[in-house]
């Protein structure tokens, strides 16, 4: 397991706060309530370790298959439905949404090989990620990857806790399946907009892994 570069600053700040709070707590209460100081260390250390876990990149064998659509994020499938995409396609698409909890890995990965033909950030609200309106009203970042006749829109959506979306893709960039294209700090949701008729290999409420689980067939 490694730590994502997006976490270096947050973990450093968290560590400084952890040390300062515990020194202050020890100075105030060590003489009278040593057990309370120990309890405070345990609780704050747990919070610090939880922060570190937000930015973990676990070692795993990624799925590479040119004919498959690979899941872009860890989490749980919360939406499978046909919808009209008003942003890019202007037609019906098959939407598959993966909810990322704070305990999930937060790296986002390319579902297919191809070229980035669209990249746009949208300012918006911070509704809870499972709200149906979050796909169109929340802070979000969309990219479209084109592979031959196939185009897939991947949408990173911020939520009530996730206040920062990081996206590394650029229009014209050639991308490789399962390579990292972004990061959502503290979880939220990733939507895939697929061609109608895509043969899915996941079900509603299924737990999925980014870069590993096959979403469907091109």
- Catalytic amino acids? 188
Q: CA angle at residue 76 from 11 to 113, to 5 degrees? A: 80
Phi, psi values for residue 28, rounded to 5°: -80, -35
Strand partners, 141: 121, 156
- C-alpha separations of 201 from 93, 147, 178, 204, 205 in Å: 17, 20, 17, 10, 13
With a CB cutoff of 8 Å and minimum separation 6, the contacts of 50 are none
Q: Which residue has the tokens 């995409």?
A: 85
Q: Quote the CA–CA distance of 189 and 217 in Å, as a whole number.
A: 22
Token couple for 212: 């590993």
Please tell me what DSSP assigns to residue 151: E
């Amino acid at each position: 397991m490694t730590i994502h570069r997006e976490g270096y600053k947050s973990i450093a700040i968290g560590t400084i706060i952890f040390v300062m709070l515990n020194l202050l707590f020890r100075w105030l209460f060590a003489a009278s309530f040593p057990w309370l100081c120990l309890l405070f260390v345990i609780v704050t250390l747990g919070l610090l370790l939880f922060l570190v876990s937000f930015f973990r990149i676990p070692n795993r064998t990624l799925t590479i298959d040119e004919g498959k659509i690979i899941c872009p994020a860890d989490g749980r499938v919360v939406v499978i439905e046909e919808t009209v995409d008003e942003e890019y396609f202007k037609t019906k698409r098959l939407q598959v949404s993966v909810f990322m909890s704070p305990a999930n890995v937060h790296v986002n990965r390319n579902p297919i090989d191809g070229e980035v033909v669209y990249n746009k950030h949208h300012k918006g609200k911070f509704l809870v990620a499972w709200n149906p309106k979050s796909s169109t009203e929340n802070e979000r970042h969309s990219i479209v990857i084109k592979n031959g006749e196939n185009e897939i829109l991947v949408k990173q959506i911020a939520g009530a806790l996730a206040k920062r979306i990081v996206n590394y893709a650029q229009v014209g960039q050639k991308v490789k399946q399962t390579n990292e294209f972004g990061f959502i700090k503290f979880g939220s949701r990733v939507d895939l907009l697929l061609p109608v008729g895509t043969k899915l290999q996941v079900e509603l409420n299924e737990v999925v892994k980014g870069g590993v689980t096959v979403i469907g067939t091109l």
